[in-house]
């Protein structure tokens, strides 16, 4: 009797899912739009700064600040909140045509600020965060998530701050031209502080065995409360020693908060250390904000420590992590992710560090930092384009 040996065919990996999934959850269109827009707009700003191209409706630095804050950063915030909001509430956030309509509204805002139609730009741009606030309020109220209502309020505040910028440009509202930008930056800082406090210790403990990142109630209250006080002082246009003292206290609170999260234990885990590195920029920004309030430092340096260092790093870290997690991919940074982290972090160091050493390096710093930033977010857009377009690998919705 002949013995037969059964030879099994080697297991084949499941083919990647096909289909169009860009409108299945908020992070998908807004992460993609934000990364593409950020890479292009920063390059345009560098050319404007060097006087190589003409100025649009919003002139020079105001256009740059407006687009980075109310264009790029706000798109990522909305995409993240729609995605997290569904998990928090257990109820749907915009998908499909409603999500597409919000994305079109955002794109229209980016186009209109490049035209002479100031009123149209004002209405459309202020409408986007207001519409996002309403879309987020519906599931939050239905689920009774009172602890998250403040996100809705912050989106409304961002809409008001954005409208203030436009009304000033249209000579309708006589307020300092940078007041709306500063209030928007403070609101963004508070959002980053809240979300950083929620996710960074959790990601640290989940991703780094034995890290033991902790949150101390009094430190949490001091860190978040001082940011709200800073926002109140800025809204009241308080300057000088009082602002410097509050910014110093706020910097210390955030530094202590960061140290309690054990950042030195995360060096072997890029998906985690990128968030810690970005959060360290918050403490540095606040210290620099205090120095600039008493005239010891240029205000633009502290602003870019927040926007390029903190916001750029946190956004890149969260965009890679949530895109991976919500598409069924391993929560492990690959070489492309790490390259994005390094490029954006280097952009922050160059943009803040070189002019701090000497003002004569400012133009060179802007051009070099812009190239690094555009490369980082451009690389993200290229690598994650198919990830954000296609369905989850595990076949689940989202």
The number of CA neighbours under 13 Å toward the Cβ of 293 is 21
What pLDDT, on a 0 to 100 scale, did the predictor assign at position 12?
A: 46
Question: In terms of domains, do 260 and 385 share one?
Answer: yes
Distance CA 132, CA 104 (A): 13
Residue that finishes a domain, picked among 177, 200, 227: 177
Where is the domain boundary, 128, 155, 177?
Answer: 177
- What are 113-148's pLDDT values in tens digits? 888 898 999 999 999 999 999 999 999 999 999 999
Beta-carbon-side half-sphere exposure of residue 91 (alpha carbons within 13 Å): 12
The dihedral over CA atoms of 100, 101, 102, 105, expressed in degrees to the nearest 10, equals 120
Handedness of CA 327, 333, 339, 341 (dihedral sign): positive
Q: What is the pLDDT of residue 2?
A: 40
The per-residue pLDDT for 59 is 66
300 and 380 fall within a common domain: yes
Statement to judge: residues 232 and 90 lie in one domain: no
For the chain, the domain total comes to: 2
Q: Is residue 284 domain-shared with residue 362, that is, in the same domain?
A: yes
User: Is residue 210 situated within a structural domain?
Assistant: no
267 and 121 within one domain: no
Q: How many C-beta neighbours within 10 Å does residue 315 have?
A: 25
pLDDT of residue 13: 47
Which pLDDT score is estimated for 49?
65
pTM for the whole structure? 0.92
pLDDT digits (tens, 9 = 90+) for 264-309: 999 999 999 999 999 999 999 999 999 999 999 999 999 999 999 9
pLDDT for the residue 8: 35
Q: Where do we find the tokens 């990830």?
A: 387
Output the pLDDT for position 44: 78
The answer to whether residues 237 and 172 belong to one domain is: no
Residue at 3 is within a domain? no
Q: What is the mean pLDDT of the chain?
A: 91
* Inside any domain, residue 8: no
Could you tell me if 221 and 292 lie in one domain?
A: yes
Q: Is 30 domain-assigned?
A: yes
Residue 11 domain flag = no
- Confidence (pLDDT) at 205: 95
Range(s) of the domain holding residue 67: 22-177
Which residues in the chain come in under a pLDDT of 50? 1-13
Residue 397 placed within a domain: no
Same domain flag for 278 and 357: yes
In a domain, 65, yes or no: yes
Say whether both 293 and 358 belong to one domain: yes
Are both 146 and 229 inside the same structural domain? no
If asked whether residues 138 and 58 sit together in one domain, one would say: yes
The runs of H, that is alpha helices, within the chain are 27-49, 60-66, 74-89, 96-112, 118-143, 149-169, 179-207, 217-235, 241-260, 270-293, 299-304, 312-325, 335-357, 362-389
**Contact between 188 and 77 (Cβ < 8 Å):** yes
Of 148, 177, 206, which one is at a domain's C-terminal end?
177
Distance CA 328, CA 332 (A): 12
Residues 27 and 166 in one domain: yes
327: in domain: yes
């Amino acid at each position: 009797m002949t013995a037969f040996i059964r030879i099994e065919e080697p297991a084949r990996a499941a083919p990647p899912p096909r289909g169009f999934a860009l409108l299945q959850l908020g992070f998908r269109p807004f992460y993609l739009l934000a990364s593409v827009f950020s890479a292009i707009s920063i390059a345009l700003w560098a050319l404007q700064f060097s006087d190589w191209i003409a100025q649009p409706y919003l002139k020079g630095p105001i256009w740059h600040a407006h687009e980075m804050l109310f264009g790029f950063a706000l798109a990522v915030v909305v995409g993240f909140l729609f995605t997290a909001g569904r998990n928090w509430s257990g109820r749907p956030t915009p998908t499909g045509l409603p999500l597409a309509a919000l994305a079109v509204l955002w794109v229209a805002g980016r186009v209109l600020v490049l035209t002479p139609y100031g009123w149209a730009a004002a209405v459309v741009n202020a409408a986007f965060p207001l519409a996002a606030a309403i879309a987020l309020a519906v599931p939050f109220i239905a689920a009774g998530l009172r602890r998250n209502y403040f996100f809705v309020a912050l989106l409304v505040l961002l809409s008001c701050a954005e409208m203030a910028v436009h009304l000033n440009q249209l000579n309708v509202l006589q307020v300092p031209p940078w007041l709306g930008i500063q209030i928007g930056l403070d609101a963004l800082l508070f959002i980053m502080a809240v979300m950083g406090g929620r996710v960074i210790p959790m990601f640290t403990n989940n991703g780094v065995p034995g890290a033991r990142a902790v949150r101390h109630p009094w430190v949490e209250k001091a860190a978040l409360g001082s940011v709200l006080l800073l926002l109140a002082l800025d809204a009241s246009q308080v300057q000088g020693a009082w602002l410097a003292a509050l910014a110093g206290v706020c910097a210390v609170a955030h530094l202590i908060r960061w140290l309690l999260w054990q950042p030195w234990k995360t060096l072997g885990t890029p998906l985690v250390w990128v968030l810690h590195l970005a959060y360290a920029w918050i403490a540095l920004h606040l210290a620099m904000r205090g120095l600039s309030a008493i005239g010891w430092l240029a205000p633009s340096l502290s602003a870019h420590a927040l926007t390029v260092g903190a916001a750029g790093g946190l956004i890149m870290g969260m965009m890679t992590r949530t895109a991976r997690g919500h598409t069924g991919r391993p929560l492990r940074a690959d070489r492309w992710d790490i390259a994005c982290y390094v490029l954006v972090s280097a952009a922050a160091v160059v943009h803040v560090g070189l002019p701090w050493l000497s003002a004569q390096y400012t133009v060179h710093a802007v051009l070099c930092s812009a190239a690094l930033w555009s490369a980082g977010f451009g690389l993200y857009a290229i690598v994650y384009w198919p990830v954000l377009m296609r369905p989850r690998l595990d076949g689940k919705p989202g």
